[in-house]
């Protein structure tokens, strides 16, 4: 019976995800190269301006179309009720009917996240519910620790760790990399496992091959590498302090590069355990912000 309930819940989550993904094909305004704000920031900006974005208008239209299909709308409301219950808004039993209790729970949720407290199911509310649920569901695997093996520096080097910006946030990506460098072949081969969590969790494997420009007693330096879209990177391995760095120049352009911010970034291969603890702390803070906990009455 537990497996059946889990299967039904999975279907509802997929239905909710589909209900907000119909607007993703709308092209955003790319006139600015500033960082993409969070969903909360976008919602607040739209609310303050009093206007809906093109994506929100498209989403609202599709939501209205779903309302005209009773069975689809019932499943959608059922998913909303489950999310509200999960977040601590006391909805139940889950009926798939937009009753008074569900409307009041929606109203409390909207107030909590800074949306207009209408008690009505609109696109911004649906998108916020789904994004919050993704945060709670986001897997957080333990990342391998840093390892630097250069006992035979004159022949080969092997390094393992997680890439992170040299300054700023520790890391936004759940990933781990392993580098093998061979002096005779004049190559460094990097294999990276990345956990993608945009829609459904998926492990992706990336492989990059750097040609070696310089390899002396102190350091290894690669040739500029352009095997990634919109990016040119240079790899450096430092023998004295057992560190690996990567300089990456990102450039805005056409097609796939239209949303890329032109900037130069210095990365360092660090201990995956440190990244894991940082991401774990951030997820705990985000989870605390999502869940509604009643204060104890004195």
| pTM summary value | 0.70
**Beta bridge partners of residue 263, listed in sequence order:** 250
Most confident of 20-29, 62-71, 150-159, 199-208: 150-159
Give the integer Cα–Cα distance in Å for 135 and 47: 23
Q: Which residue has the higher pLDDT, 130 or 294?
A: 130
Confidence of residue 16 (pLDDT cuts 50, 70, 90): low
**pLDDT for 195-238, tens place per residue?**
887 666 788 999 999 999 999 999 999 999 999 999 999 999 99
Give the integer Cα–Cα distance in Å for 177 and 276: 14
**pLDDT for 86-119, tens place per residue?**
999 987 788 999 999 999 999 999 999 999 999 9
My answer on whether 93 and 174 are in the same domain is: no
Judge contact between 148 and 159, C-beta under 8 A.
yes
Last residue of one domain, picked from the residues 82, 113, 137: 137
Confidence of residue 251 (pLDDT cuts 50, 70, 90): very high
Contacts for 1-10: CB closer than 8 Å, 24+ residues apart: 9/82
Q: Give the pLDDT score at 199.
A: 61
Give the integer Cα–Cα distance in Å for 17 and 31: 28
My answer on whether 178 and 97 are in the same domain is: no
Domain around 41: 2-137
Specify the 3-state DSSP secondary structure of 179.
strand
My answer on whether 170 and 270 are in the same domain is: yes
Tokens for 26, please give them.
């709308």
Residue listed under structure tokens 């070696």:
212
My answer on whether 130 and 159 are in the same domain is: no
My answer on whether 167 and 76 are in the same domain is: no
Element (H, E) at 126: helix 123-137
């Amino acid at each position: 019976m537990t497996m059946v309930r889990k299967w039904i819940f999975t279907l509802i989550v997929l239905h909710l995800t589909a209900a907000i993904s119909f607007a993703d094909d709308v092209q955003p305004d790319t006139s600015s190269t500033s960082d993409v704000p969070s969903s909360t920031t976008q919602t607040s900006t739209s609310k303050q301006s009093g206007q809906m974005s093109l994506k929100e208008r498209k989403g609202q239209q599709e939501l209205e179309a779903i309302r005209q299909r009773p069975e689809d709308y019932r499943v959608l409301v059922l998913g909303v009720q489950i999310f509200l219950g999960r977040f601590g808004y006391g909805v139940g039993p889950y009926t798939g009917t937009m009753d008074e209790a569900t409307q009041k729970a929606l109203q409390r949720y909207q107030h909590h996240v800074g949306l207009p407290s209408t008690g009505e199911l609109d696109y911004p509310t649906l998108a916020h519910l789904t994004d919050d649920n993704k945060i709670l569901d986001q897997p957080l695997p333990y990342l391998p620790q840093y390892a630097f093996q250069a006992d035979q520096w004159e022949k080969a080097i092997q390094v393992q760790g997680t890439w992170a910006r040299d300054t700023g946030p520790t890391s936004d990506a759940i990933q781990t990399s392993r580098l093998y460098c061979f002096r005779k072949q004049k190559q460094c081969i990097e294999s990276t496992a990345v956990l993608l969590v945009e829609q459904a969790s998926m492990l992706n494997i990336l492989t990059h091959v750097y040609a070696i420009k310089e390899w002396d007693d102190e350091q290894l330096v690669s040739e500029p590498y352009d095997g990634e879209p919109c990016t040119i990177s240079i790899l450096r391995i430092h023998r004295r302090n057992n560190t690996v760095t990567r300089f990456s120049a990102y450039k805005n352009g056409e097609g796939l590069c239209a949303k890329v911010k032109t900037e130069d970034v210095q990365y360092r291969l660090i201990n995956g355990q440190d990244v894991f603890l940082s991401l774990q702390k951030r997820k705990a803070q985000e989870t605390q912000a999502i869940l509604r906990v009643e204060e104890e009455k004195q």
